[in-house]
Every structure is written in structure tokens, then in C-alpha cells.
Amino acid sequence: MSEKILPLSPKESLERYLSLSLDPVWCFECKPPIPKSLPKEKLRECLLGQTRLWQANESMLRQYGFSSLQDILGKPLQNLPIGSDPHFLEALIESKYQLQEFESDFQAVGETSKTRLLNVQGEGDDRYLYRIWGFERDITAFKHSRDKLNQMLESARILNDISRAFVSQSPQKLDDIIQYALGEVGKFLEVDAITISEISHDKMYLSVTYEWLKDGMHPVKHFYQNVPLSGNQPITLANLVNHGHVIISDTNTYDEDESAKNSLEKAGIRSAILFGLKKNGELFGIFGPGNKARSRDWNLAEKNFLSLVVDIIAQGIVKARDEIRLKQKETILKNYYEDIKFDLQIAKLTQDAWITKQFPPYENIQFSSFFLPVGDIGGDLILYHVPEPNTIDILFGDISGHGISSALISGIITMSFRRLSEKFLSPKEILVGMQSDLKEAIQRNHLSCCLFRLNTATKEATFCFAGHPPVLKWNREIPESIETILTANYPLFLVPDWTGEEICISFQTGDRLLLFSDGIYEIEKEDIGFLGLDAFLLSLRTKISKEPRGDKLIANLIQEALDARTVKVYDDIAVLLLEFL
């Protein structure tokens, strides 16, 4: 007879979990318990001073640079880097101690600032808070990639908007267009001032014709009118003609061109980068962004971005004054996108931001998701938001197209979905609200999606579809009883006035719900050609009847989609499975 294995005690289970978790886990105990009715500022003081570290694992020690758990056990939150971010405490209080997916900065011992993703659960009753449990992971590298992608997307947007403004507006609008362009570039690069100086037709004088100033900066335009060129900034002008730009990182140490240095100091500028404005290769002006109080080493990405901005503005001025069209702007932008292809490959890693892989933990529901990108940055979305306890809104969708525009639209849709979900609107009202909010901004793309709200306590869900493939429901004990959930409707942003229908479905223990994007059946097989939805559903029914395990089912679906018979996959593949326990 085999030896009976005794179950672990709660304490042993906790110790086992802490030791096995790869992510940092910690728990602070409130001594004495903290009344939840206190004012926010008093709650913040109590959280900092009355909580003591009670539990933590090795991953937490490594993340924060501590060598021994005994060195920090019993210390208050205010004496540990976990509580160093005031925004974290504010968000924790606002969330009523149920904080989810919160980004927070921290600084480990002896290291630079990092970023973590926090999930914090308060333990207490209606009146008092006894403990706070924290689960976190270091997302510094992810945030760096995401910020880099956002910067690339923002620079591409600015270039596109500036170029479009010059091309579409009349020459009489030139002053307004240039001021708009300088403002966009100035705010993006975080400079204090940008000036455009132009050389007179007789090549004798230089005058500031446009300037953009950050709040608090004094105008200099009136000081720099008809400045003689003879003997003024000779080295700087020669470098602009020959090299296209001149970098002055710090006027305090710059001695190459005394007159250029004096001009910047007179304008209150310490660091600047100057670009030549050219017409047919001939210098006709100077474009110069600068910073007032700090030195600055202008990096390659900033120089490349400014080089494109200067080309657009120079051509825009020439077009407005000579009545010519800017025929090269589209080519410049295309070349720019080609130059950043490598960065876009890195940016693809950040697409996981729109594909949820970890959902909130529920005792009676298990979530499994899978995503496989194909080609450039795609537009698939798996999002969730928890507007109220025991309620989760899930948006499963696919944005038409790929590339930078889809990535930008994904971010816009994410913000709109979460804002409307937070208002606790119905699924239909959320989609109608998204259509109303974004239809003017999203004109060349559309969103096929299924949005449903699930009550995790009653296992009741309300669905609303917008041009999305059907959703399948079955029970693992009766796999042949497969139900199709679907309402035919147009995708969002495809028609001016979108209306939808809602379907209410109740789930039981053993039920499963499968959502999939069209990429899983828009594939080409060498033996049967294009697979299509009907053939996929027929194959799926067979797999459901043979495979009781949810994770195995998803693995089988992906394996068949990508097996040796597959000639081409046309779109990203996304799958989400819910299992009701």
C-alpha cells in the first residue's frame, strides 16, 4: 500500500508558494490595524509608518538588492524601497486596497531607477486593514521598449501631420503651419525655444522670422533683425553649408565660433543644434532648437528626426513662396520608415501590451490565451477591465491593417474601452461609445470585436458583437453539445451609425468558452488551399470531442494551423479560452 501524503498546513502552503514563486511577493502587516475610514493623508501616514514587513520571498530580495530577509523583516514600509513611490500609495488607497496592473517606479539598493508592475491585495474587514499582499515583476526592459516604440510612433505622427499640413493648406496659411510645426517639435523634444532665421535675398543679412517659446522664455525675434552676415558666424555658416548641421552642446565650453556663441548667450540659450534650410542645395536659413538651463548631447535619433523636420519645413517654405507642390514628402516618410525597420522589429515585442496573458485570479474561472504575430506590428487585442467587484469586461478584437497606424489605434481603443468600462456601461453601450468617441479619429481602419461582461459570481455573461467570428460554448462532460454565440453586425468604424445587439448567456461548472481571431482560419494549406471558417469549425468540433483539457486543445489548434501543410498564414492568430470550474 502506498504511503499516504498528508496535506500541507496553511503555513506550509504559504512558505511553499513564496519559495517557488519566480516573481517578487511580499506582505506587510498593519500594527495596529489601520481604520479604513481615516482621511487619505492620514491613511498614507499609517501605511508608511504602521505597516511592518511580515513575509517576502527570495525574488523580492533579489529585485530590491537585499542580501538577507532577516535584515528587513519588521521594517516599516517607509524604510523600504517598496513604498518609495508616492503614486503607488495614492493608487492603493484609491483602489480600496485592490490594486491591479499598476506601474510604479522604484530604486533597488545600489542601482538606478527601475519600473515594476504591481498587483496588491488588501486583507481586512469592512472597518480595518490588517495586511497588504503584493505581487510584482520588474518590467524595466519592457517599459524601455514600449517608451521607445511610443517615441517612434509619436515622431512618425508629427512628421506625418507636419507634412500633411504643408501639403494640404494654402500658402497663405504658412505662418500658422510653421508655428504649429515648431510647437509640435518643441514639445516632443522638450526644448525651451526654436527659431527660424532666414537670409535676405541679397545675402547680406540674417533675420529671425519665426520663433516658438516655452512658457517663461522671453521673445528674441525683435533683437535679431537684419543682422549683417559679413564676419558674423562664418564657421557656423560654413559648417551648415557643408555638413547640414552644427551641434553646440554647451556654450560654456564652446569656442569654435565666438559670434555664434555670443548670439546664443544673448538669447539665453545654453545648448542648441542648428540645421541649414536649403533650396536646391543653397542655404537660405537656419533652424535652431535649444535649451536654456542645461547642456545637451543631441543623440542620433533626435538628429535624424530633426533632419526630416527641417527638410519638410524648408520644402514647405519654398512651396508656399514659389507655389510648388511638395512631391518628395511621401518619399521622405517612406525612406524614414525603411530606416526604422530594425527598431520596428524590437517594437513588435511591445505588442504584448495589447494581448492580455494574465487575467485576475478567480477560483471558479480559468483563463488561457495565446497570440502569434505575423509580419509587422499587428492589430489584435485581448483586453480586460474590472469596473466592479465580481465583474470583468473583456474585449477580444482585431484592427484592420498592420504597422504603425494599427499600433497607434490599438492604444487609442484601449484607453476608450477602459474609460467606458469604468462607467459600468453595458457591452453594447461601450461599443456605441467607442464608435462615437473614435469614428472621427479612425477613418481608414475598422475594429472587428466581441465584447462581453462576465459576472464571476453568477457566471452570467452579456455579449455584443461587431463583425467578429462566432464564439463557441460547450461543456467538457458533453463535448458534442457545442453552441455558437453570434450576432451579425458591422465592425466598428466601418459605417457612420453603428448599433448592436446583446446576448445573455449563463454558464455552468464544466462549461468552456472559446474566442478566436480570423487569423486562425485565414491560412492556406498545400492540399486543400484556403482553409476558411466552415472547414475550421468542422475540424474544431472534432478536436473538442477528443480533447478534454483546455491547454491541450489550444496547443492542438495552433499545431494544426502551423503544421507542415501550411503554405501561408495571412494574419495574426489570437485565441482566448475560459474554463468554468
CATH number of the domain residue 209 falls in:
3.30.450.40
Residues 315 and 258 in one domain: yes
Judge whether residue 15 has pLDDT over 70: no
3-state secondary structure of 28: strand
Q: Does a cis peptide bond (omega within 30 degrees of 0) precede residue 32?
A: yes
Q: Which of 147-156, 423-432, 556-565 has the lowest mean pLDDT?
A: 556-565
> In whole angstroms, what is the distance from residue 409 CA to residue 169 CA?
25
Residue 409 and residue 498 share a domain: yes
Q: Which residue has the higher pLDDT, 266 or 235?
A: 266
- Spatial CA neighbour of 274 closest among 313, 309, 248: 248
Whole-number pLDDT of residue 330: 57
Encode 208-233 in three state secondary structure. Answer: EEEEEECCCCCCCHHHCCCEECCCCC
pLDDT confidence of residue 86: 86
Residues 172 and 284 in one domain: yes
| 246 and 381 co-located in one domain | no
Residue 564 has pLDDT above 80, yes or no: no
DSSP secondary structure of 437-452: HHTTT--S--EEEEEE
- By CB atoms closer than 10 A (0-12, 13-18, 19+), residue 67 is exposed
Given 86, 104, 138, the domain boundary residue is 138
Res. 37 pLDDT band, cuts 50 70 90: very high
Residues 181 and 291 in one domain: yes
Mean pLDDT, the chain, integer:
84
Task: State whether 377 and 264 are in the same domain.
Answer: no
- The answer as to whether 360 is a domain residue is yes
Do 545 and 472 touch, CB atoms closer than 8 A? Answer: no
> 368 and 551 in contact (C-beta within 8 Å)?
yes
Same domain, 261 and 357: no
Indicate if 325 and 425 belong to the same structural domain.
Answer: no
Are 58 and 125 members of one domain?
Answer: yes
pLDDT tens-place string over residues 113-167: 888 899 999 999 999 999 999 998 888 888 888 878 888 888 889 989 988 888 8
More confident residue, 428 or 371: 428
Say if 2 falls within a structural domain.
no
Q: Is the domain of 294 the same as that of 315? A: yes
Identify the CATH number of the domain in which residue 102 sits.
Answer: 3.30.450.20
> Are 151 and 118 part of one and the same domain?
no
- The residue range of the domain holding 72 is 10-138
Residue 454 pLDDT level (bands cut at 50, 70, 90): very high
User: What pTM, to 2 d.p., does this model score?
Assistant: 0.44
To 10 degrees, what angle do helices 140-168 and 300-322 make?
A: 10
Lowest mean pLDDT of 42-51, 157-166, 527-536, name the range. Answer: 527-536
CA–CA gap between residue 445 and residue 404 (Å, rounded): 12
Q: Can you tell me the distance from the alpha carbon of 71 to that of 498, in angstroms, rounded to the nearest whole number?
A: 60
pLDDT band at 348 (very low <50, low <70, confident <90, very high): low
What CATH number has the domain bearing residue 500?
3.60.40.10
Structural domain includes residue 447: yes
- pLDDT bin (cut points 50, 70, 90) of residue 234 is low
How far, in Å, CA of 348 to CA of 535, rounded?
Answer: 31
Q: Is residue 161 part of a domain?
A: yes
> Which of 306, 339, 372 finishes a domain?
339
**Are 149 and 133 contained in the same domain?**
no
* Domain boundary residue, one of 95, 115, 138: 138
**Number of alpha helices (DSSP H) and beta strands (DSSP E) in the chain:** 15, 24
Contact 276, 244 (CB under 8 A): yes
Q: Is 4 a domain residue?
A: no
pLDDT band at 417 (very low <50, low <70, confident <90, very high): very high
Within 10 angstroms of residue 227's Cβ, the number of other Cβ atoms is 17
- With beta carbons less than 8 A apart as the criterion, state whether 431 and 449 touch: yes
* Number of domains, the chain: 3
